[in-house]
Structure 1
Amino acid sequence: MRAFTDAQGRTARVEYLMPQGSGAPRLARRLTRSFMAGRTCDTAADAELVVSELVTNATRASDGRCRMSLRIDADELTVAVHDDGPGLPRLRPASQSAEGGRGITLVRALARRWSVEPHPQGGKTVRAVLAPC
């Protein structure tokens, strides 16, 4: 874990290397809840859901490890998850019978904006910016 805070306490950033396995999304939610503690922010529950979806996708798309960063700056919360997997996330049509495939649609609905940045060496970073805190 790496953590940074500016002198005025307005900008805070943490970065975590998430463990392999199915427990990573649960840990991501817990770490997000801890990061948001003490802040008056209506988007804390949304942030937990977004990190859970992005970390789930990242651990499925790669060798099971990913990096997650959280940043509060200019009254916005930015969630970024990087993995080394080859594919890019995409929006899929919702299916009533499917048990999965709605994660990016959910992220899109909760975030003010989101993006995918492919990396030349492989992998990608998925970023979601949530409403002001």
Structure 2
Amino acid sequence: MRTQRRTRRRATRATYLLPQAETSALWARHLTTVFLTRGCGEEVTCDQVEDATLVVSELVTNAMRHGRSSCRLRLHVDPGTVTVEVEDASPVHPRLCSPLETDESGRGMVMVRELSRHFAVRGGPGGGKTVQAVLAAS
């Protein structure tokens, strides 16, 4: 008799709907870390996990603060890259200018752009937007 060996395939994509709440960025960081370290089925470096977690935190925080709606977090892993997308209901694109040294905020998007190999903002069909950051292996 022949035994079948079942291999459980892990997902290389994950989508999470996050409510408009103060704790959403915290949950997004946790979900990202768990997915990248235990659930994506691809080898992801520690640097990529740290970078992705920081990018997710910034993008979800911006979606909560400026989008004023729930948001959708999508993670996609290919060999060598991690793609982070955050979709919210606001059509307003994030400010991508450098803050002054005396500014207390506004550095998040600069960090996201610096950590990304590719960065894009796309308008959505319902009037919202999706912010995408593709992170390469360090």
> Shorter-chain TM-score category?
0.7 to 0.9
TM-score (norm 2): 0.83
Structure-1 residue corresponding to 2:3? none
Deviations 1:8-45 (A, max 9, x none): 95860000001221111111110111011144413110
Matched, 1:73 2:87: no
TM-score (norm 1): 0.86
Letter in 2 for 1:46: D
Letter in 2 for 1:130: L
Identity %: 44
Structure-1 residue corresponding to 2:30? 30
Bigger drift between 89-98 and 11-20 goes to 89-98
Residues matched between the structures, number: 127
- After TM superposition, the structure 1 = structure 2 runs for residues 14-93 of structure 1, keeping only pairs within 5 Å, are 14-38=14-38, 39-41=43-45, 42-93=47-98
Structure-2 residue corresponding to 1:102? 107
Alpha-carbon contact 1:11-1:74 (below 8 Å) kept: no
Bigger drift between 103-112 and 92-101 goes to 92-101
Alpha-carbon contact 1:67-1:81 (below 8 Å) kept: yes
Runs of 5+ consecutive residues of structure 1 not aligned to the other structure = 1-6
- The structure where helix makes up a greater share of residues is 2
Cα distance change, pair 69–94 in 1 and its aligned pair in 2 (3 A): same
Alpha-carbon contact 2:91-2:123 (below 8 Å) kept: no
Runs of 5+ consecutive residues of structure 2 not aligned to the other structure = 1-6
CA RMSD of aligned residues (A): 2.1
Alpha-carbon contact 2:70-2:88 (below 8 Å) kept: yes
Paired with 2:10 and 2:118, the residues of 1 have a C-alpha distance of 21
